[in-house]
Structure 1
Amino acid sequence: MKLFTYQPPQIPWLDIRYQDRDIVVLNKPSGLLSNPGRAENTYDCAINRLLNYAPDAILVHRLDCATSGIMVFALNKKAESNIKTQFQNRLTEKYYVAEVIGQVSQDEGVIELGMMADKANPPLQRLDESGKAAKTYYQVLERRVNTTLVKLKPITGRTHQLRLHMKALGHTIIGDDFYGNDTVIAASPRLNLHAQSLSFTHPYSNKPLTFTSQHPF
């Protein structure tokens, strides 16, 4: 694992894809934290950037720092409660696109492997049958020369779930400097994992909404 140095991208500073009186949807770049950590140098993050533009913005879910893609933020407490409940009750639908090392042989499948925190190596996680249940569907989108593009649909939302499940399949996400070997890390300057689509119900109109952002790899 490489030593982590936080250097968030400055361009785009704030990629807003949608806004109304209740919600804001962002396309978060890889390398930007969703919310600040304990260290002072982590103040620059998605929620703090958004607060400069929309002072009432509230974080309702997170993406890993290295993961890019669609995030939704609430603009009032009622919207926050509504959207958080949708996430908790698995009423939202989301899928990711990842580029993984090697050729995935099966066109699609499901991975069900329990997970828990690796207390000896924070913030890493590890697979463990006694851990929390974790389930991921995958589908091959494109087989490339040395990599495969896959669509990933997590049914549960465990920390680093997609990273560990693809590694367990034998196809680590390229650029993964937490769980990848030197070949995996050298294959991309970033983690090639992107939250491409998020669907949920609008907290006030109750209309179904879907937001997408094309993966950059």
Structure 2
Amino acid sequence: MTTPFDPARQQASTVCLPPGNWATVLDCLCDHFKAIGREQWLDRFARGRVLDAQGQAVAATLAYRPGMRLHYFREVANEKPIPVQETILHADEHLVVADKPHFLPVTPTGEYVEQTLLRRLIRRLDNPHLVPLHRIDRHTAGLVLFSANPETRGAYQRLFPQRRIDKRYQAIAAAMAQHEFPLVHRSRLVHGEPFFRMHEVPGSENSETHACVLEKNGDLWRYGLSPVTGKTHQLRVHMAALGAGICNDPFYPHLVDEQDDYARPLKLLAQSLRFTDPLSGEERYFESRLTLQW
């Protein structure tokens, strides 16, 4: 007998079946997710990896009904291990703070499912309720804050859109003697081509970064970066726009088509987080134990 898995513990994805003329839920899923073969869906059904709204495994022959809500577990065949190790800096009933190494994604995406910070922490802490309160890029290292308790999650989530959390980054890039520091860079960022790259366009500003110089080492400087907004790749795009793309950046200012080189990580670190705890009112400060080497 196949035992249904817990969609919360396994971080299942959810789909609401669209209108159509399919005979079975299998037919609908195959047509809706064209990148996933029919044999792969049949295998998932056979292993109890497709669930109904109540978390019970369903059969591939189940009659299709528009609006039906199904849970399914994203899987990547032969997922490649990422040879880096995260560190848990803090854990209580409400919050978990992790130090994420370079190259490790925060959440499942694309070719990464099990090899993500979220899935690793769920297994280590045995807490299926973990949810990241913010994201940093796969190539970026440093602090990531997680909610550990659904009942208090909203209070911590509101810190970010209300800009009540101070985020400090460090980056190593080429010297920029042409600019006076500290400086503020604002621009309008939109998705470009390929879809995962951002670029600046004319128009009303939707991103803001404060930058200063922390240390000089010949042709390379260590910068302190404080993002006021949280657009995708904001710091990476802004540094490239200022004339000094962050060292080893495979996306900016130019896209480099190459495999991960663990000896050459992106020189960008989410170095500290500071905020007033919305539950206790106490000042909370967390600092990464990772460092950027010249």
CA contact (8 A) 1:57 1:74 kept: yes
Count the aligned residue pairs.
Answer: 207
Residue number in structure 2 paired with 1:205: 280
Rounded to whole Å, the distance in 1 between the matches of 2:188 and 2:207 is: 5
Q: What pairs with 1:1-217 in structure 2 (closer than 5 Å)?
A: 9-12=82-85, 14-39=86-111, 41-54=112-125, 55=127, 56-105=129-178, 106-118=180-192, 120-130=193-203, 133-180=206-253, 189-213=264-288, 214-217=290-293
What is the aligned-residue identity percentage?
28
Deviation at 1:7, TM superposition (A): 5.9
Instruction: Return the letter of the residue paired with 2:283.
Output: P
> SS of the counterpart of 1:51?
helix
Deviation at 1:208, TM superposition (A): 1.4
- Structure 1: 5+ residue stretches without partners: 1-5
Distance 1:45 1:110, change over 3 A: same
Higher alpha-carbon Rg: 2
Rounded to whole Å, the distance in 2 between the matches of 1:75 and 1:160 is: 26
TM-score (norm 2): 0.65
CA contact (8 A) 1:116 1:132 kept: no
Which structure would you say has the larger RCO, counting Cα contacts within 8 Å and 6 or more residues apart? 1
Higher deviation after alignment, 172-181 or 93-102: 172-181
CA contact (8 A) 1:60 1:74 kept: yes
Rounded to whole Å, the distance in 2 between the matches of 1:209 and 1:104 is: 35
TM-score (norm 1): 0.87
- Structure 2: 5+ residue stretches without partners: 1-78
Rounded to whole Å, the distance in 2 between the matches of 1:130 and 1:196 is: 31
CA contact (8 A) 2:169 2:272 kept: yes
Deviation at 1:10, TM superposition (A): 3.1
CA contact (8 A) 2:170 2:269 kept: yes
Which structure 1 residue ranges, 4+ long, deviate > 6 Å from structure 2?
none
Deviation at 1:132, TM superposition (A): 5.3
- The RMSD of aligned alpha carbons is 2.3
> SS of the counterpart of 1:34?
coil
Deviation at 1:57, TM superposition (A): 1.6
Rounded to whole Å, the distance in 1 between the matches of 2:195 and 2:255 is: 20
